[in-house]
Amino acid sequence: MENIEEILNVIRNSIDEIDGILSLKDSVREEVYRLIRELTRNSSDVVTLIHRGLIGDAEKRLSIAEGIVKKINGLMREHPDIYYSGMVYNGLSEYVEAALFYEVIVKNNVSSWRRLDVPYVPYLQGLGDLIGELRRYIIKLLDKGSIDEAVKYFNLMEEIYISLRKLDYPDALTPGLRHKVDVASRLVEDTRMLILNTKNAYICAPGKT
């Protein structure tokens, strides 16, 4: 082969160029995964603080989480292959769960996936996880005897489940959602029975008619 050196030069130059791309992508990946760990930690704190009634502290943690999401989105604009990956989705879904839980409990409203600036998959995953947090909140309300308020949150919990159940797509399109819907089905029915039993116990309590 007379042009073997030319062939090798093309290969070497291509490998050098690809090496530079991969080196940059690896550094971005490491930074994003570090941010995802921070996001997960702060999102978990938001949920815990709300359950403890420390709303001001929860709001501060949520603000930090929002800032982290903005950083992640900034880094990901040119690296969609990293953005649409399992670990990033998991972190974003925990942020969605925390943000929506805060909004439902504190603000009495909820943000869309576009408002939260996250892909639709982690938004759906976060909605699925929100059902579990609402159940925990309902149990606390029932323990305090706030049955009417518990029913209000149960109705929301059930409607979220019904809405998610309509999305009957392959796991490749909505990874993890089908499992979350199956879990939500059990949580909804268990919570329904818990509320019913609590109502009956309250009615049958001494002094009640």
Q: What is the per-residue pLDDT for 185?
A: 97
Q: What is the 3-state secondary structure (H, E, C) of the chain?
A: CCCHHHHHHHHHHHHHHHHHHHHHHHHHHHHHHHHHHHHHHHHHHHHHHHHCCCHHHHHHHHHHHHHHHHHHHHHHCCCHHHHCCHHHHHHHHHHHHHHHHHHHHHHCCCCCHHHHCCCHHHHHHHHHHHHHHHHHHHHHHHHCCCHHHHHHHHHHHHHHHHHHHCCCCCCCCCCCHHHHHHHHHHHHHHHHHHHHHHHHHHHHCCCCC
Q: What is the per-residue pLDDT for 105?
A: 97
Cα–Cα distances in Å, from 194 out to 28, 77, 134, 162, 187? 47, 46, 13, 19, 10
Mean pLDDT in the chain?
A: 93
Q: What is the per-residue pLDDT for 78?
A: 80
pLDDT above 70 covers what percent of the chain?
A: 96
| Domain ranges within the chain, ordered by starting residue | 13-118, 120-209
Q: What is the per-residue pLDDT for 79?
A: 83
Q: What is the pLDDT of residues 20-48, one digit of tens each?
A: 999 998 998 899 999 999 999 999 999 99
The answer to whether 13-118 and 120-209 have equal CATH topology is yes
Q: What is the per-residue pLDDT for 123?
A: 97
Higher local confidence (pLDDT), 205 or 115: 115
Which CATH entry fits the domain spanning 120-209: 1.20.58.2140, 2.40.30.10, 3.40.190.10, 1.10.10.10? 1.20.58.2140
Q: Per-residue pLDDT for 194 more than 80? A: yes
The model's confidence at residue 202, banded by pLDDT at 50, 70 and 90, is confident
Q: What is the pLDDT of residues 74-107, one digit of tens each?
A: 888 888 888 777 788 999 999 999 999 999 999 9
Q: What is the per-residue pLDDT for 209?
A: 47
Q: What is the per-residue pLDDT for 208?
A: 56
Higher local confidence (pLDDT), 205 or 154: 154
Q: What is the per-residue pLDDT for 139?
A: 96
Q: Which fold has domain 13-118?
A: Methane Monooxygenase Hydroxylase; Chain G, domain 1 (1.20.58)
Q: What is the per-residue pLDDT for 1?
A: 64
Is the pTM here over 0.75, yes or no?
Answer: yes
